[in-house]
Structure 1
Amino acid sequence: MKDIKIESTLTIYEDYNELPKNVALLMDQAIEIRLKAYAPYSKFLVGAAILLDNGEVITGNNQENASYPSGLCAERTAIYYAGANYPEAKIVMMALTAGSQKQPTTSPIPPCGACRQSISEYEVKQDLPIEIYFMGVSGKVVKSNSLANLLPLGFDRSFL
């Protein structure tokens, strides 16, 4: 028997104003689309903006449903649209923002497990890391250089 240690390295920006200009512009689009999310049940709005290597920016937000499992997260809404409409394009960067309408959201909110798995599929497929920036409504912004950094020991097609 032996133990292994798995580490992740994240970059923390103290707030939105510290972001590089190109990241701030992408985050602006995530913030804008977050405000249009359909979340009448949870009151938790999420926005995602994806930059593709062809220069296109794809946005998505969470879409809830009275039958809870039928809704879809912002990250998957955007990434599936990108995959359907730009199947040859690679995802360079994602900006994510999430916030509650019931209480202040100042902590960075990472993608949920299902979204991490979906993003991982694209990262493996394109064989190129996807930079991911995530934040709440305000406060610190976290950067991960890849999805693999957020989902070590991920499940992918190599197991099938």
Structure 2
Amino acid sequence: MGKSFKIELSLERFEQLEELPDQVQNLFKAAVEARESAYAPYSNFHVGAALLLANGEIIKGNNQENAAYPSGLCAERTAVYYAGANYPDVEILMMAISAKAKSKDTPVPIPPCGACRQALAEYEVKQEKPIAVYFRGGSGAILKSDSVENLLPLLFTQKFL
């Protein structure tokens, strides 16, 4: 019989945006701005993401839907792929994500989906430094993970290829 093991993750919880450092509050403002211009006519679920790069640049992304559903792209991947294309050698320090249903309040922290976690993990592994991830619904508490790996234990990386 195999031996079981436990995987744990650790998150910080902030009840209000004002509890966060100014730099993170500004990143959330950028994520909300991005969320407001998301193109989500099918799900009516708007997501904005903002990355802070080591050079001080803030990169924004939002979800982009398509009538051919698999052709859309999440906010987190929109932002990280833009950063990778335009700033390939600049580290990503942190990401803020804001998600909100158009027709109702979403007062709970909404984490990135699995596909976005995997895409973010690729950049974290590439830069050999963790990316802090903050996430929030349309209102309410904010959760912080010190790394993407914390949100996606047992990463699939190039070492398996």
| Structure 2 length-normalised TM | 0.98
What is the distance in 2 between the residues matched to 1:23 and 1:76? Answer: 19
Residues 102-131 of structure 1: CA deviation (Å, up to 9, x unaligned): 211000000000000000000000000000
Residue 4 of structure 1: CA displacement?
Answer: 1.1
Aligned residues of 1:16 and 1:138 also touching (Cα < 8 A)? no
Residues 117-159 of structure 1: CA deviation (Å, up to 9, x unaligned): 0000000000000000000010000000000000000101000
Aligned partner of 1:141 in structure 2 is 142
| Amino acid of the structure 2 residue aligned with 1:3 | S
Aligned partner of 1:76 in structure 2 is 77
| Amino acid of the structure 2 residue aligned with 1:105 | T
Q: Unaligned 5+ residue runs, structure 2?
A: none
Q: Unaligned 5+ residue runs, structure 1?
A: none
Residue 3 of structure 1: CA displacement?
Answer: 1.3
Q: Percent identity?
A: 61
Residue 67 of structure 1: CA displacement?
Answer: 0.4
| Amino acid of the structure 1 residue aligned with 2:103 | K
What is the distance in 1 between the residues matched to 2:126 and 2:157? Answer: 9
Aligned partner of 2:89 in structure 1 is 88
Aligned residues of 1:131 and 1:146 also touching (Cα < 8 A)? yes
Q: Following superposition, which runs of at least 4 residues in structure 1 exceed 6 angstroms of deviation?
A: none
Q: Secondary structure of the equivalent of 2:42?
A: coil
Aligned partner of 1:52 in structure 2 is 53
| Amino acid of the structure 1 residue aligned with 2:65 | E
For these two proteins, the number of residue pairs brought into alignment is 160
What is the distance in 2 between the residues matched to 1:71 and 1:113? Answer: 15
Q: Secondary structure of the equivalent of 1:32?
A: helix
What is the distance in 2 between the residues matched to 1:33 and 1:51? Answer: 14
Residue 2 of structure 1: CA displacement?
Answer: 1.3
The answer as to 2:66 corresponding to 1:65 is: yes
The answer as to 2:11 corresponding to 1:17 is: no
| Amino acid of the structure 2 residue aligned with 1:121 | E
Q: What is the CA RMSD across the aligned residues, in angstroms?
A: 0.6
What is the distance in 2 between the residues matched to 1:158 and 1:97? Answer: 32
